[in-house]
Structure 1
């Protein structure tokens, strides 16, 4: 077939494909599409390969650049370290030593060799100290240097350069001492480092092992007695250093220091492997010029073999002295700690440090240490609580400032609950603003009282937070690590019970006493403020102070004061209430209770026509009496209805009761005088044969009417101004006197008393404040 001979790769034009049947053309199309896809994959693979080769080339360039930079850095470092001047000097010196033609004697070569070795020892020692290497190795080199210097200084022809080396040797010795001091005083030093440094101290200062221990204790003591203003930094650090010192001392007394010193005395210093491994010394070359005394020098250090009792005595003596010093410095650093919660947290950290270490730490008395820690923190916590409580006096300062700056415009009439400014407030979103303004209006709180109460509330929050912190102390978790079988110390209670029960109890009592004393001091401050009221606006000032006292009592810290309660300003309040009562009664004098006569003779009793029963008796008091009590209540409300609690109303009633008795007595005397004048006038008229109307002159019946009305009013006033029985005696005597003047017919007195009482029951709601 024609399709068998067809090959798409031999096509020259697309037109040739259409010379074949349709199936063939479709086959041609499929072959062409397969070729295109195959060529696309080959092209993609080729591009990817070339791209990866390009990335590899780039990475190679980057690596070559880094390696080139590293090589340049190393070459630069080598160049820096290649001190041509120093190399030249060494070359010249070596040449001079080896030069056979110098003609020097054996002694001169020995002198030069020792001088070079001395110089190298001081140089290497300084380098070791700068690298914070072992101070013991530095001390060994320093001892060798001292021996070399001693030998060279005894030669007759010592070069001047020897004095320079002596200065370097002194400087190196000071550096070694500072290095030893730093290691022995650091809390981060391991026991191995400390023993190594103590051995270095013995070697460099010709000290005994006991001297080294004493030196170690002195360094640690000096570190502990450096208080810091930051108690949170000093106390944990100093206490940790104290504990570590005791533990290290225990290890030192277990022959670890003696073993280290014995190893140091086992061989000559120049034979020490650590010395011979220092290539910079060139001991193989320069060692042969060293004298025999230097070569064979073996340190001897006095080893004080202490008995167990002596070791314990040394440890306990230092422990007692250091801990008491720690307590003194800790108390000083705690003076700046005024935050109660922070001091409590620091107390927890410090006691945790001790309790976690007490089982493995020898000391003069584990119980004394715990007691000391408790005392120093409890003392500061009590001081913080006292200072917190004394901040209550800022309330007194605020009151004093307001009273001293009082002006005529301060105080004023209290705002009504039905004032438009109150009733027009928004009541949406829970009516928060409306309720707050309503409460302030009801309680008479203005901006001055609000400012003082804000100070008081912030004080309450502070002492309440401290109280909660004290209560939380009872639930603190501690590790009770004291050995119950310890026969040396008897401890009545466990450490956990002391920390969780006794300490909170002490702090609660301290806070209770401090808060109670603060309120007493504030009460004395209020007394001083009241004494300085002056002569003007006393009632408004008294109202201001009374409202403050009431609000302070309402917000008293009852949970802190516990069962004692708070009788704050109990002696001050009656005097302030008396001031208010006198102000009210001055504006509404008791002389207004009964009508004043307009002429010398008596007129008819007001409301006489309303008398009822037979004989006729009044059923209500005089209008002037009723009006008097209405004006009295209005005067009370003008100062503020919130001021008139039961005690204040009783004070007002007592004073008003006394004034009312005086007013009734005066009216009774006036009645007698008017009756006498009327009788005289009647006699004069009869004498002159004058004729008048009988109603214009007072008759015995009119006098009796007035007495009956006065008796009813007296009963009514006694009901309105109800006071304790011992205070009603003057009114009762007046009523008895008046009863004797009134002819009692058919139970008239009893009817008058009942009528007065019934009228009071009907009208008492009109006198709400007086009915309290």
Structure 2
């Protein structure tokens, strides 16, 4: 056979190729095949690239063709418009227009445009001041109407004095704008009279409208506000109709006036007025959006005086000291009543005091109930989470050992890092954090109420009334205001809290009872954590300390069942084994087991892992006791069923045994042929011994705080009867099980 090395460059005939050794021929064949595949791949790549380039070129040609057609069309229209005859006609028409109109026509067009816009100002202002407008937008409409009236006033000034036909129209528009201005001021007055604590934005809008319409500064606006409120107070004193006496309504309005002035003056009011002159009037977007004015067409005829007009409003002429002095002046009447009211004959000041107390207490009770009722939002959040439950996502728990923890900011005390560690340690994922944070926000509202009630109890109401009233009146007043009213509020708060927590408890119980599905274990864990977190921040009321406790036993039962269900099923299959694994490791004389079966060890280890996966925060002593009780019951139930089957088989074998207690070969062969499994008595006793050791170990592992003679103890006694051990051997086996648990108990931390 010829020698040498073949290479892909050799040219061989089929007959010459086989003159070389077979391995060289195969190597040459593989080399040729690889080379052909590479060339085919490169060729396909080149062809594919060329094809894509060809398609791209074709698309570019089509796009260029469309662009060329569009350009040609536009150039054609431009060419037609630039024709000699067309341009000549335009030039001639423009010349005629200039010759005929001139400057006079421009003036006429400008006056007509301003007159048209002036008429629309009246129409639009009338629409904005309609009485049936929504209350929530009334103040905004007043501000916009005031700006329209200012524009109308400017236009009226620009077209005035023209004489001729427009003289009558100008006078008519002057009367109309004056009437609209009076309507605007009446609207401002109504809002100022009726606005409450929650309507301060409307009040501020009404004051801005007054400032624009009258060009008043901040000081004048405040005076006008106080004047309107003073007139409203006078009317309230004179009006005694209705459930609330007029005096009480007047005092309520007086108190609200003090609060409004403190809230608006000087910063909010001055800032709002400064914003009105931040830009010219016609640059205001609200004005330009009014289509009826047609500013896009008419403003070219207005002139610079109108185009660049900016409202001149003093916003910096009001200081806090002026507001304080004004309030003190308004407060004099109230002080006079406190000092001298009790001296007036025929007038009982307690009537006014009782009415005022009633109004204030009703308001406090309303505020209290509103805040307490918000606890239902926690149940709503929980219900929403259960409605959108997704297994493995909603109940996903983040470990504190994940790499994402390393990316967190740890400067300035590592606050976020510590919060995240606490959250993950207590199993607070997003689904649990949302309702818990909502509950914490609600608790802050309730704590504010509790603090307020405590302040009322400590408040003394006679510090500024020395020698004005006698001691009996002062003591009675202090009793009412510092004891009776706070106690009434406290009782109402306790009752409201008790009802709110009761409703929350019942809502959670109904959700737990109605929820069914494969995720019942995960849902029970979720609700258990919600109840636990809420209970950590319960108010100190004794009636609330039992919140959620009635649901905990059921939740612990479901937690125990979901944690151990699969492990019990797996462990039950080991009861059917006929031989002992690890029989050679038995010790002593007679030989007895000194360690559990692999299945028992897997059971204990699996329980530890399952408990850790569910969350270490769930396993309180009570929860572990429930788990151990559940395991003792379920394991014994399964184990007894297996022992019963084995006893029946053993009894059937005994009935078929020979007289000397042994099964003959013919009988054993006959039983095997009939499908009856023959159990070796020696192996069966070894299995029972190992089972007895496992039961004794489980008794130590699942030991309950209050030891009782339960089913697991009875199972151990039954196994002892079946193996028929001597007293010494029985004690040695029991001690071996206890010693094993002492040595290995720490491996199963939560169980130990």
TM-score (norm 2): 0.52
Q: CA deviation at 1:590?
A: 4.6
Matches within 5 A, 1:123-202: none
Per-residue CA distance 1:220-248 (angstroms, 9 max, x = gap): 5369856999984266899xxxxxxxxxx
Partner of 2:452: 469
2:240 pairs, out of 221, 225, 229, with 221
The yes-or-no answer on 1:703 pairing with 2:692 is no
Distance in 1 (alpha carbons) for counterparts of 2:504 and 2:337: 42
The yes-or-no answer on 1:536 pairing with 2:486 is no
Partner of 1:722: 703
Matches within 5 A, 1:80-119: none
1:430 pairs, out of 413, 416, 424, with 413
Partner of 2:375: 392
Partner of 1:754: 735
> Using a 3 Å threshold, how does the CA distance of structure 1 residues 685 and 636 change in structure 2: closer, same or farther?
same
The yes-or-no answer on 1:685 pairing with 2:690 is no
Distance in 1 (alpha carbons) for counterparts of 2:415 and 2:407: 14
Q: Is the 8 A contact 1:427 1:434 kept in 2?
A: yes
> Using a 3 Å threshold, how does the CA distance of structure 1 residues 355 and 237 change in structure 2: closer, same or farther?
farther
The yes-or-no answer on 1:509 pairing with 2:491 is yes
Partner of 1:411: 394
Partner of 1:569: 548
Q: What SS does the aligned partner of 2:590 have?
A: coil
| Matched residues, number | 440
Distance in 2 (alpha carbons) for counterparts of 1:713 and 1:536: 32
The yes-or-no answer on 1:554 pairing with 2:536 is yes
Q: Is the 8 A contact 1:356 1:481 kept in 2?
A: no
Partner of 1:171: none
Partner of 2:560: 581
Partner of 1:457: 440
Q: Is the 8 A contact 1:590 1:656 kept in 2?
A: no
> Using a 3 Å threshold, how does the CA distance of structure 1 residues 530 and 356 change in structure 2: closer, same or farther?
farther
Distance in 2 (alpha carbons) for counterparts of 1:482 and 1:225: 29
Partner of 2:479: 497
Distance in 1 (alpha carbons) for counterparts of 2:236 and 2:647: 105
> Using a 3 Å threshold, how does the CA distance of structure 1 residues 660 and 384 change in structure 2: closer, same or farther?
same
Partner of 1:656: 631
Distance in 2 (alpha carbons) for counterparts of 1:371 and 1:227: 11
Q: Is the 8 A contact 2:692 2:716 kept in 1?
A: yes
Partner of 1:124: none
Distance in 2 (alpha carbons) for counterparts of 1:483 and 1:668: 95
Q: What SS does the aligned partner of 2:576 have?
A: coil
Q: Which runs of 5+ in 2 are unaligned?
A: 1-226, 259-330
Q: What SS does the aligned partner of 1:747 have?
A: helix
Per-residue CA distance 1:522-572 (angstroms, 9 max, x = gap): 1111112213323231122222211111111112223xx2x4452221112
Distance in 1 (alpha carbons) for counterparts of 2:473 and 2:469: 9
Partner of 2:716: 735
Q: What SS does the aligned partner of 1:221 have?
A: coil
> Using a 3 Å threshold, how does the CA distance of structure 1 residues 752 and 469 change in structure 2: closer, same or farther?
same
Q: CA deviation at 1:724?
A: 5.5
Q: CA deviation at 1:482?
A: 9.9
Q: Is the 8 A contact 1:359 1:481 kept in 2?
A: no
Q: CA deviation at 1:398?
A: 0.8
Q: What SS does the aligned partner of 1:571 have?
A: helix
Q: CA deviation at 1:352?
A: 7.7
Distance in 2 (alpha carbons) for counterparts of 1:639 and 1:548: 15
Distance in 1 (alpha carbons) for counterparts of 2:497 and 2:380: 17
Q: What SS does the aligned partner of 1:540 have?
A: helix
Q: What SS does the aligned partner of 2:424 have?
A: helix
Q: CA deviation at 1:624?
A: 0.7
1:627 pairs, out of 595, 602, 607, with 602
Distance in 2 (alpha carbons) for counterparts of 1:594 and 1:350: 92
The answer to which structure, 1 or 2, has the higher relative contact order (CA under 8 A, 6+ apart) is: 1
Distance in 1 (alpha carbons) for counterparts of 2:587 and 2:353: 91
TM-score (norm 1): 0.51
Q: What SS does the aligned partner of 1:478 have?
A: coil
> Using a 3 Å threshold, how does the CA distance of structure 1 residues 459 and 628 change in structure 2: closer, same or farther?
same
Q: What SS does the aligned partner of 1:710 have?
A: helix
Q: CA deviation at 1:399?
A: 0.7
Partner of 2:6: none
The yes-or-no answer on 1:233 pairing with 2:263 is no
Matches within 5 A, 1:1-400: 219=238, 221=240, 232-233=252-253, 355-363=338-346, 365-400=348-383
2:644 pairs, out of 650, 669, 672, with 669
Q: Is the 8 A contact 2:692 2:719 kept in 1?
A: yes
Partner of 1:312: none
The yes-or-no answer on 1:613 pairing with 2:599 is no
Partner of 2:504: 522
> Using a 3 Å threshold, how does the CA distance of structure 1 residues 359 and 442 change in structure 2: closer, same or farther?
same
Q: Is the 8 A contact 2:628 2:704 kept in 1?
A: yes
The yes-or-no answer on 1:443 pairing with 2:426 is yes
Per-residue CA distance 1:622-665 (angstroms, 9 max, x = gap): 12111012112222222222222222222222221111111321
Per-residue CA distance 1:433-468 (angstroms, 9 max, x = gap): 322221121111122222222211111111111111
Q: Is the 8 A contact 2:501 2:544 kept in 1?
A: no
Q: Is the 8 A contact 2:560 2:627 kept in 1?
A: yes
Cα RMSD over matched residues?
A: 4.0
Per-residue CA distance 1:375-419 (angstroms, 9 max, x = gap): 443333233212211111111111111111223443345333222
Per-residue CA distance 1:251-292 (angstroms, 9 max, x = gap): xxxxxxxxxxxxxxxxxxxxxxxxxxxxxxxxxxxxxxxxxx
> Using a 3 Å threshold, how does the CA distance of structure 1 residues 363 and 409 change in structure 2: closer, same or farther?
farther
Q: Is the 8 A contact 1:542 1:576 kept in 2?
A: yes
The yes-or-no answer on 1:768 pairing with 2:749 is yes
> Using a 3 Å threshold, how does the CA distance of structure 1 residues 710 and 227 change in structure 2: closer, same or farther?
farther
Distance in 2 (alpha carbons) for counterparts of 1:350 and 1:626: 87
